């Protein structure tokens, strides 16, 4: 059994490779819920939906958001009616979100995800990190912003001074999944807003100490492959490099995969993490995704 900790862009790319080389039944994916909120009358759990669409081969993997070849009839009509949406939600994607909202209000988020995963023919277990909503604020040079306002309205442009989020309780099954796994993979997701929220859940860091954990660095050189991870790390005084990523996970990490371009950092990281694996981590095609997944799986003791 392998458990993967995931956000909504980098790790789903790795999941595309992983699901080709391991039996999806042997995968549990614990997904970040920090950004979850209501938009346009529906509950949006963007990272969970990205993982659902990735595992059911529906993902729009140009944007890592929404369904490929979706239409935007409802979105466009809302705009015509003078009710523009902050998030551009496609029609098929909206159906998923409407159903999730209804299921969640009745059974809670974890059960809603379980039902939707089953309906989509997904054999892996997909668990939200928490049933509770988090409070998140991005403190910037233009004031405190809601996460989606920072990302979408302000296009991640303001200077980030701090990232603050509230602690929530783990959903049922999160800590047990880690404890009962042969390995935990921390995918290349935003360390601050996708992975730290999962690591902050009660019992998670301790469970990780007792399990083989391998992480893939989302930082290559001194920048993120995409998104604002570098700004968030800088704001929290964490070195924006694979070294900084390793230092965030050093109390439980057994192996870190860094990119070929960072081979010069290997000896420095070796002082923090037992094993450092160097390979191509830029997952721009299925071959690279499968190769990276295979290296990770082969490393499991």
Nearer to ligand GDP, 56 or 74 (CB): 56
Nearer to ligand GDP, 25 or 153 (CB): 153
Helices and strands (DSSP H and E) totals, the chain: 13, 14
For the CA atoms of 59, 241, 245, 37, the dihedral, rounded to the nearest 10 degrees, stands at -40
Nearer to ligand GDP, 66 or 227 (CB): 227
**Between vectors from CA 144 to CA 138 and to CA 145, what angle results, nearest 5°?**
60
Residues 33/128, Cβ–Cβ less than 8 Å: yes
Q: Could you say which DSSP state residue 145 is in?
A: E
Q: Tell the residue number behind the tokens 């490393």, with chain if given.
A: 299
Cβ count within 10 A of residue 99: 15
Nearer to ligand GDP, 28 or 281 (CB): 281
Nearer to ligand GDP, 170 or 244 (CB): 244
Give every CB contact of residue 286 below 8 A, 6+ residues apart in sequence.
16, 17, 20
Nearer to ligand GDP, 170 or 228 (CB): 228
Least distance from ligand GDP to the Cβ atom of residue 64, Å: 6
Least distance from ligand GDP to the Cβ atom of residue 228, Å: 8
Least distance from ligand GDP to the Cβ atom of residue 206, Å: 23
Least distance from ligand GDP to the Cβ atom of residue 185, Å: 13
Q: Could you say which DSSP state residue 122 is in?
A: -
Dihedral (CA of 120, 125, 129, 132) sign: positive
Provide the token pair at 118: 């089953």
Q: For binding to ligand GDP (CB under 6 A), which residues are involved?
A: 7-11, 13, 47, 188-190, 194, 216-218, 220, 224-227, 229, 281-283
Least distance from ligand GDP to the Cβ atom of residue 189, Å: 3
Least distance from ligand GDP to the Cβ atom of residue 14, Å: 8
Provide the token pair at 99: 């159903």
Q: Is 179 annotated as a binding residue?
A: no
Q: Is 94 annotated as a binding residue?
A: no
Residues 212/254, Cβ–Cβ less than 8 Å: yes
Q: Which residues are annotated as a binding site?
A: 49, 88
């Amino acid at each position: 059994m392998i458990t993967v900790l995931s956000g909504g862009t980098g790790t789903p790319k790795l999941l595309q490779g992983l699901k080709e080389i391991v039996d999806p039944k042997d995968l549990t994916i614990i997904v970040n819920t920090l950004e979850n909120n209501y938009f346009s009358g529906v509950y949006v759990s963007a990272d969970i939906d990205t993982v659902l669409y990735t595992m059911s081969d529906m993902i729009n993997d140009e944007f890592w958001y929404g369904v490929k070849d979706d239409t935007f009839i409802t979105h466009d009509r809302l705009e015509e009616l003078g009710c523009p949406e902050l998030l551009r939600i496609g029609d098929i994607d909206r159906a998923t979100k409407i159903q999730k909202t209804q299921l969640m209000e009745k059974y809670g988020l974890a059960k809603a995800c379980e039902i939707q995963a089953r309906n989509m023919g997904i054999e892996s277990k997909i668990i939200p990190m928490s049933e509770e909503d988090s409070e998140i604020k991005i403190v910037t040079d233009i004031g405190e912003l809601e996460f989606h306002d920072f990302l979408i309205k302000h296009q991640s442009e303001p200077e980030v001074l701090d990232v603050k989020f509230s602690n929530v309780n783990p959903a049922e099954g999160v800590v047990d999944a880690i404890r009962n796994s042969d390995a935990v993979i921390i995918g290349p997701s935003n360390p601050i807003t996708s992975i730290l929220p999962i690591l902050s859940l009660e019992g998670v860091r301790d469970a990780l100490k007792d399990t083989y954990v391998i992480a893939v660095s989302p930082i290559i050189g001194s920048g993120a492959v995409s998104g604002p991870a570098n700004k968030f790390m800088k704001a929290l005084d964490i070195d924006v490099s694979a070294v900084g990523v390793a230092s965030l996970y050093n109390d439980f990490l057994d192996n870190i995969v860094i990119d070929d371009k960072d081979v010069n950092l290997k000896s420095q990281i070796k002082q923090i993490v037992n094993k450092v694996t160097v390979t191509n981590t830029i997952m721009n095609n299925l071959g690279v995704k499968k190769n990276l997944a295979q290296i990770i799986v082969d490393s499991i003791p």
